[in-house]
C-alpha cells in the first residue's frame, strides 16, 4: 500500500466516525423531545391545579407559622427594650425624687459651716497635740497617747488611715496648725483648708479637705509641706531664725546679681554650656515637696 492509499483510507475512516457521532446525537435529541412531551402530557393544567391546591395550603401554613414565630421573637425583643427603658425611667425618677431640696434656710448653712469650723478647729488642735505627744513619747517610750490622739482624729475623717497621723513635725520650731474660715458650701459639702505657720508667720505646711455636713467628717484630706517647712523638718539642732525663701528656680541664687564677665565665674573658652560653676539641679525646677508625714512610723534619726 502506497502512501496515497493510506491517506485515503484514514480520511474515509474519519468521515465514518463523524457520521456515527452525528447520528447518535440526533437519536439522543429525539429521545429528549419525547421525554419532554411525556412530561407535559402527565402535568396537564388540571393536574397542576390539583397539586397546587395541596401544596399552597402547606406553604401558607408554613408562612403563617413563620410569621407568628417571627412576631413573637420581635415582641420578646421589644419587651426587653421596654423593660430596659422602664428601668431607665425609674432610675431617672429616683434621681429626681432624691434631689435634695435647697438648704432650708440661711440658718441651716450657717449651722453647717459652724459645725465644719468646730470640727476643723478640733482637727487643728489634735494636730498641734502631736508636738507635745511626740516629745513625751521620746522620753517615756509610751505610744498610748499618740494612738489615742490618732483615734480622736479619725473621728473627724472619712478615711482615717489617710490623715490621722501627724501632718507636720519640726521639734525645734514654734508652729501652730489653724483651721481657716470656711465660706464655700455646695451640696452639703464645704472645701476646707488648714494652715501651719511658724512664729514668724511663715507657712510651713497646709492641708486641704472636703467637709460633709451630713456626716460631720472630712473627706479627701491631703497635706503638704512647703520647702521652708521641709527645711525645718530637717533641722537637727537649731531652728533657722529667719528662714530664707526658696526661689522658684533652685539653680538660681536669689541674692546673686548677673555679673557678666566676672572672673570668678567665667568659664574657660572650651567649657560647654551648663558647667558645674553654676551647678544647677536641672531635674527639679520647683522643689515643692508634698509630704506624707507619719509620727508613728517616722524615723526619729
Partner 1 sequence: MKKFIPFIIMLALAIVSLMYSNMVTQDKQTQLALQVSEYDRLQSVLTVKNSSIAAESQRVVEQATGLVETRKATDDKIASAFVSDIVTWSSYAEYMQKREDSIAKYSLDDAFLKIFFPPVTVTVAADGTEYNTIDVYALSLTLNSITSYVTQIESDVYTYFTVCEVANLSNGGEGYSRFTIMYSIDTSGKISNIKGIL
Among 8, 75, 135, 138, binds partner 1 (CB under 8 A): 75
Decide: is 48 part of the binding site for partner 1 (CB under 8 A). Answer: no
Stretch that binds partner 1, among 25-33, 151-159, 160-168, 259-267 (CB under 8 A): 259-267
Q: Is 35 helix (H, G, I), strand (E, B) or coil?
A: helix
- Separation CA 47–CA 193 (nearest Å): 98
Stretch that binds partner 1, among 159-167, 234-242, 278-286, 292-300 (CB under 8 A): 278-286
C-alpha cell at 31: 429521545
Among 17, 45, 53, 214, binds partner 1 (CB under 8 A): 53
User: Which CB, 155 or 203, lies closer to partner 1?
Assistant: 203
Pair 246, 227: CB distance under 8 Å: yes
C-alpha cell at 26: 440526533
Among 95, 238, 299, 300, binds partner 1 (CB under 8 A): 95
Stretch that binds partner 1, among 14-22, 65-73, 144-152, 211-219 (CB under 8 A): 65-73
Decide: is 86 part of the binding site for partner 1 (CB under 8 A). Answer: yes
- Separation CA 216–CA 235 (nearest Å): 37
User: Which CB, 2 or 283, lies closer to partner 1?
Assistant: 283
Burial 87-104 (b: 16+ CB within 10 A, else e): eeeeeeeeeeeeeeeebe
- Separation CA 118–CA 190 (nearest Å): 13
206: left (phi over 0), alpha (psi -120 to 50) or beta: beta
C-alpha cell at 145: 497617747
- Separation CA 178–CA 198 (nearest Å): 11
Torsion sign, CA atoms 75, 79, 80, 84: positive
Decide: is 44 part of the binding site for partner 1 (CB under 8 A). Answer: no
Decide: is 277 part of the binding site for partner 1 (CB under 8 A). Answer: yes
User: Which CB, 263 or 301, lies closer to partner 1?
Assistant: 263
Residue 236: CB minimum distance to partner 1, A: 22
Q: What is the DSSP letter of 265?
A: G
User: Which CB, 174 or 277, lies closer to partner 1?
Assistant: 277
Q: Is 255 helix (H, G, I), strand (E, B) or coil?
A: coil
The residues in 162-181 that bind partner 1, with binding defined as CB under 8 A, are 180-181
Stretch that binds partner 1, among 31-39, 103-111, 163-171, 293-301 (CB under 8 A): 103-111
- Separation CA 150–CA 130 (nearest Å): 9
Residue 162: CB minimum distance to partner 1, A: 18
Among 78, 174, 200, 215, binds partner 1 (CB under 8 A): 78
Residue 50: CB minimum distance to partner 1, A: 8
Residue 157: CB minimum distance to partner 1, A: 19
Decide: is 276 part of the binding site for partner 1 (CB under 8 A). Answer: no
Stretch that binds partner 1, among 116-124, 132-140, 213-221, 257-265 (CB under 8 A): 257-265
C-alpha cell at 60: 401558607
User: Which CB, 103 or 145, lies closer to partner 1?
Assistant: 103
Q: What is the DSSP string of 164-180?
A: SS-S---TTS-EEEEEP
Radius of gyration, alpha carbons of the chain: 49
Residue 268: CB minimum distance to partner 1, A: 7
Amino acid at each position: 500500500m502506497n502512501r496515497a492509499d493510506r491517506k485515503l483510507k484514514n480520511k474515509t475512516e474519519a468521515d465514518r466516525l463523524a457520521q456515527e457521532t452525528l447520528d447518535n446525537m440526533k437519536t439522543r435529541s429525539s429521545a429528549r423531545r419525547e421525554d419532554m412531551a411525556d412530561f407535559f402530557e402527565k402535568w396537564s393544567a388540571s393536574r397542576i391545579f390539583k397539586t397546587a391546591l395541596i401544596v399552597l395550603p402547606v406553604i401558607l401554613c408554613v408562612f403563617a407559622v413563620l410569621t407568628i414565630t417571627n412576631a413573637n421573637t420581635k415582641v420578646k425583643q421589644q419587651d426587653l427594650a421596654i423593660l430596659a427603658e422602664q428601668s431607665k425611667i425609674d432610675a431617672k425618677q429616683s434621681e429626681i425624687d432624691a434631689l435634695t431640696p435647697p438648704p432650708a434656710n440661711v440658718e441651716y448653712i450657717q449651722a453647717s459651716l459652724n459645725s465644719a469650723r468646730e470640727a476643723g478647729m478640733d482637727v487643728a488642735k489634735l494636730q498641734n497635740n502631736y508636738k507635745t505627744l511626740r516629745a513625751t513619747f521620746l522620753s517615756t517610750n509610751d505610744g498610748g497617747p499618740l494612738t489615742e490622739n490618732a483615734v480622736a482624729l479619725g473621728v473627724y475623717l472619712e478615711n482615717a488611715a489617710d490623715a490621722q497621723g501627724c501632718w507636720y513635725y519640726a521639734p525645734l520650731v514654734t508652729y501652730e496648725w489653724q483651721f481657716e474660715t470656711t465660706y464655700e458650701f455646695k451640696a452639703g459639702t464645704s472645701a476646707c483648708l488648714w494652715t501651719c505657720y511658724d512664729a514668724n508667720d511663715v507657712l510651713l505646711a497646709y492641708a486641704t479637705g472636703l467637709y460633709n455636713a451630713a456626716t460631720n467628717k472630712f473627706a479627701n484630706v491631703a497635706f503638704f509641706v512647703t520647702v521652708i517647712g521641709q527645711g525645718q523638718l530637717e533641722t537637727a539642732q537649731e531652728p533657722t531664725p529667719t528662714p530664707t525663701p526658696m526661689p522658684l528656680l533652685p539653680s538660681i541664687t536669689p541674692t546673686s546679681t548677673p555679673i557678666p564677665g566676672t572672673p570668678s565665674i567665667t568659664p574657660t573658652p572650651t567649657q560647654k554650656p551648663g558647667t558645674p560653676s553654676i551647678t544647677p539641679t536641672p531635674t527639679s525646677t520647683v522643689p515643692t515637696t508634698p509630704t506624707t508625714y507619719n509620727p508613728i512610723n517616722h524615723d526619729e534619726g
